[in-house]
A and B are shown apart, each in its own frame.
Chain A
């Protein structure tokens, strides 16, 4: 670490094109300090984890729709396995899919390319970040197979259930789960520090603060947000680990501890975490919409300011997860106010994106379809959040399927729709070939339409009073009759999973394709499109490092022959 910080980047890394291509397979794929390779490592790991998380959802949705069935490919689901599946589905989708995909993979790939740098400032810290992340991913998967099975106390891991093996019956699984999560945080702290420092120090000559593409702004704001919010939770996680393994009593009321302390530490991180993953996705969407609407952004500065405002406000809303947890009821009023206020900057971000479409010339490419569907879908997630942020209505809706449907309507657009938007948009740059548009569109419609059929029934179930994390709703007379909705959701999920095969087929075809992608297939302005696809080691040939002359969104400028104006083109 010291070496990377003291030695100039060029020395530790090297950009002469000779002598860097004879490295062995292991060195190239597992020991690389090249930000593009690390980005791919994060990307493949997160795609693999998404498949795991998705198949977990298939298993527990089958159990819910057809209780007691032998789930094809899995078998009977026991209550303990059910709890482990829902817990790890949530943990994996947030910590091992959304974060590595949106922040680590695309942050690593895009930040140096978009700001015209040859690599990250700390390439070795970057490598260490991925290695720690990989260990954490292996640990979380391994935790499912230890004695007693995987941890089943929900991704929020509330003590005393999570703290005491006598209560959760999965002592080893719970501890490994916790260690895996803590290691994942360490990996992202390292990565985030790297992002922030790189943006501050390595911008191309001429790139001023407001010439930075919004994607980079968003990823870096998210990294800062993560850095500032995760500290208390790491401390909390260590206390919880001590409670589990050393028999301390930080969260045990019988020994002077307090279980609600964990909830504060967890949600102090947990709510900003929502924005940690949201902001990068919004960044991708904004960049993609500007490119395919051939439009300058409507209010670039408003976007950056509202993103910062959202980030700041997000530190003051955490207890809306705890309205009915036994906190002082007067506190709920304060957190209702802050929570509803955060709707203002988020609404403004969406207004600005919508306004950008005005006067455009919209091309419906696959990445554009994903980006537009992000806005349409995320709006549903946004407005349903108001019901939960308002303390009075949360009394009824808390911990029902309404909550579950609400946050899937935010996290699915963020992680899956945003992830596919970025993937289809930057794929040519990353891999040097084009994806097939027809297959891409089949996959798009086959994903977003079933998605609505999974979660709209779950909203209805939540309004009907169905509570979460229940193995078999037939035990509740009032809920049993709503079974058709559960079956609908499960069948829609199966359809959606099957359509993912189209994506993998498309991916496989393109990776094997011999047809090279052009340097700038979408006619976009940002710097990553000014270097060959895929970019060489060092991103640009050493004598051709880009200089920046204008902002990233100068599309359709009057009196020009082309409707785009790359940032590096002298005027």
Chain B
């Protein structure tokens, strides 16, 4: 059922999964401590004939420690998570590595339109390849995508890449990815975009260099011939 969870098809998928794991360990610890303490106290201090309730104000210093020490420790955990989150964020969203190829992605109600640069690796030239819902990329290559929308908000989401970015009309947002394994994966629209939102499904086809080159030459020729 979860075979998909194991697939990490982009260079940064592992970093994001690592961050999720780090958070899971840190908050998992707090979760178990808090719930364990909570249920133990409920059990230990359930109403019993031989046990009287105590009068504790929590004002004394040695009692306040029960709250101030966890307080400080939570803060420390927060700092670790912040550092991890910012590092991953910086690599995925803030600092874009130099691209080998630039593509355009446009969302519209309810399809994805992709513009590939074709064999000359230049956008807006005669050999550009336009496709709908199927994106073709080459493995082990760094891509920049220029994301825009024709009508409403969409979200270009590739779960196998752990990649997500809103497409906003009136803006062009640049992002990047670097596929690390070949195969065909889902492209979702992850921002509600009207009644066809649920059928706005695309596919990213990651090909090895040879297959991609032949796909390009085939399609570039057809487009040029038209």
> Does B bind A?
yes
Does B157 count as interface, using CB distance less than 8 angstroms? yes
Which residues of A pack against B, CB within 8 Å? 79-80, 82-83, 152-154, 158-161, 164, 167-169, 253-254, 258-260, 293-300, 302, 323-326, 329-330, 332-333, 336-337, 340-341, 343-344, 347-348, 350-352, 354-355, 357-364, 372, 375-376, 379-380, 383-384, 386-387, 390-393, 395-400, 460, 463-465, 467-472, 475-479, 481-482, 484-485, 555-558, 563
11 A–B contacts, CB within 8 A, in A order: A253-B171, A259-B168, A297-B58, A336-B89, A340-B78, A351-B70, A379-B38, A392-B85, A393-B16, A395-B16, A478-B159
Report chain A residues within 8 Å CB of B119.
none
Q: Which residue of B lies closest to A340 (CB)?
A: B78
* Residues 87-128 of B at the A interface (beta carbon under 8 Å): 87-90, 92-94, 109
Q: How far, in angstroms, from A395 to B163 measured CA to CA in the complex?
A: 6
Q: Is the CB of B74 within 8 A of A343?
A: yes
Report chain B residues within 8 Å CB of A380.
31
Q: How far, in angstroms, from A95 to B47 measured CA to CA in the complex?
A: 39
Partner of A361, one of B52, B67, B86: B52
Q: Is the CB of B58 within 8 A of A299?
A: yes
Q: Which residue of B lies closest to A470 (CB)?
A: B198
Report chain A residues within 8 Å CB of B37.
354
Does B191 count as interface, using CB distance less than 8 angstroms? yes
Q: With contacts A364-B47, A467-B188 known, what are 11 further pairs, Cβ within 8 A?
A: A161-B152, A167-B152, A329-B93, A340-B81, A383-B31, A387-B23, A398-B164, A469-B197, A476-B186, A478-B160, A563-B53
Report chain A residues within 8 Å CB of B94.
329-330
Which residue of B15, B89, B157, B159 has the most chain A CB atoms within 10 A of its CB atom?
B89
Does B45 count as interface, using CB distance less than 8 angstroms? yes
Q: How far, in angstroms, from A372 to B46 measured CA to CA in the complex?
A: 12
Q: Which residue of B lies closest to A477 (CB)?
A: B186
Q: A-B contact count, CB below 8 Å?
A: 297
Classify chain B's interface size: 35 or more
Complex interface bits, B130-171 against A, C-beta within 8 A gives 1, otherwise 0: 000000000000000000000111010101101111101111
The stretch that binds A, out of B1-9, B207-215, B218-226, is B1-9
Report chain B residues within 8 Å CB of A326.
165-166, 168, 171, 173
Complex interface bits, B13-36 against A, C-beta within 8 A gives 1, otherwise 0: 001110110011011101100110
* Top 6 A-B pairs, shortest CB-CB distance: A253-B170, A392-B88, A465-B159, A471-B198, A359-B54, A390-B85
Report chain A residues within 8 Å CB of B42.
357, 362, 372
Q: Is the CB of A344 within 8 A of B71?
A: yes
Q: Which residue of A lies closest to B51 (CB)?
A: A361
Q: Which residue of A lies closest to B191 (CB)?
A: A399
Report chain A residues within 8 Å CB of B55.
296, 555-558
